[in-house]
Structure 1
Amino acid sequence: MQRQGSIGGSAAIRIRATGGVLLVAHLAFVAWLTLRPLDVPWVLPPNLHPFAGIRADLALGWPEAARRIAESVGLLAPLGVLLPAVHGRLWAFPLASLVRTVAAGALVSLGILLLQTGVPGRAPDIDSLLMNTVGVALAHLAVVPAARAWLRRRSERRASAAVRQEEATQGRTPTFPRVGIAP
């Protein structure tokens, strides 16, 4: 049984399967990147003050600040596209889809932040949680609505082409005029 508003047919299976494989691969890469121990002579204290790390990055100057902020925003940004792809709905309310995706991205980022407390050489940073969540939201807003609209148009064109072909092979369905009730 197919869910209301989900992508139909084999295209749905391919999109969901591809999205699932890419999601698992991306999360494995993120886990490897953020949870492996670092061999450093000292560890910075945890940053639990929002925007303190961003202000410190901005104090470093333009190119270095842009690189650090872009890395933080881009780390979990693919989740903004992969999570809706795994879900597979074409007809989803855009705000609800955004909220679900951003909440899931924030929870993944929070999980990473909590796991980093036990990893040697890693210090949790609340700004990474904020920037990762912003990255998920930006990627979702930039890609998902346009991709869903394109897929909806594509499926509508295919459905109308199938109807036209069926009419051509079977002939047009006869229509009968409405007959009113006799006095």
Structure 2
Amino acid sequence: MQRQGSIGGSAAIRVRVTGGVLLVAHLALVAWLMLRPLDVPWVAPANVHPLAGIRADLALGWPRAARPLGEGLALLAPLGVLLPMAHGRLDVSPLGSLVRTTASGALVSTGIALLQTGVPGRVVDVDSLLLNTVGVALAHLAVIPAGRARLRRREVRPGGPAKASVTVPEELPQGRTPTIPRVGIAP
């Protein structure tokens, strides 16, 4: 039996497997990038004041601020596409999907920040949590609604896979409950 609102047949398996493999590969790359020890002569103090680092980057001027802000937005942005892809459902609430995906991105970012506390040369930066989460939400909004709409149109098209429909049989007259002859009781 097919889950309600999921992509049908072998296409669902391909999308979910591809999404899962790409998700694992991306998380492995992020872990490798963010959890390697840094050999630096000094370490900046932890930034626990929201938006303080972003304001400091913007104070440097736009061309110099674009790189750190862009890196913060892009680090976990693929999760905004890969998490719904690995889930593989078409008929879901757009707002619910955005909230679930953004919350998952925030949890992954928080996990990375917590793991970084034990890595030499790495410090906690609350602004990276904010930028990573916003990046996940922006990627989700940019790709997922249009992708789901395209897949739904393809599913409804003649020649495309038909949606499963369930018909309810009309009331049949009830007869005697069958019994098992050897036991003498109804199942």
> Could you say which TM-score interval applies, normalised by the shorter chain?
0.7 to 0.9
CA distance in 2, matches of 1:37, 1:157: 53
Question: What TM-score, normalized to structure 2?
Answer: 0.84
Superimposed CA distance per residue, residues 16-59 of structure 1 (whole angstroms, 9 cap, x where no aligned partner): 00000100000000001111000001111110000000011111
Q: Which residue of 1 aligns with 2:29?
A: 29
Q: Displacement, 1:160?
A: 6.2
Kindly tell me: are residues 161 and 5 of structure 1, through their superposed partners in 2, closer, same or farther at Cα, counting changes over 3 Å? closer
Residue identity in the other structure for 1:110: T
Kindly tell me: are residues 123 and 155 of structure 1, through their superposed partners in 2, closer, same or farther at Cα, counting changes over 3 Å? same
CA distance in 2, matches of 1:2, 1:161: 13
Residue identity in the other structure for 2:28: A
Superimposed CA distance per residue, residues 129-173 of structure 1 (whole angstroms, 9 cap, x where no aligned partner): 00000000000000000000000000111556879xxxxxxxxxx
Kindly tell me: are residues 88 and 158 of structure 1, through their superposed partners in 2, closer, same or farther at Cα, counting changes over 3 Å? farther
Q: Which residue of 2 aligns with 1:18?
A: 18
Q: Displacement, 1:62?
A: 1.3
- The alignment partner of 1:112 has SS state of helix
Q: Which residue of 2 aligns with 1:148?
A: 148
Residue identity in the other structure for 1:93: S
Q: Which residue of 1 aligns with 2:75?
A: 75
Residue identity in the other structure for 1:4: Q
Kindly tell me: are residues 43 and 147 of structure 1, through their superposed partners in 2, closer, same or farther at Cα, counting changes over 3 Å? same
Q: Which residue of 2 aligns with 1:180?
A: none
Q: Tell me, yes or no, if structure 1 residue 48 matches structure 2 residue 48.
A: yes
Q: Which residue of 1 aligns with 2:120?
A: 120
Q: Displacement, 1:61?
A: 1.6
Runs of 4+ in structure 1 displaced over 2 angstroms? 158-163
Contact conserved, 2:156 with 2:162, CA < 8 A, in 1? no
Gaps of 5+ in 1: 164-183
CA distance in 2, matches of 1:65, 1:22: 30
- The alignment partner of 2:121 has SS state of coil
Aligned length: 163
More helix by share: 1
Q: Which residue of 2 aligns with 1:98?
A: 98
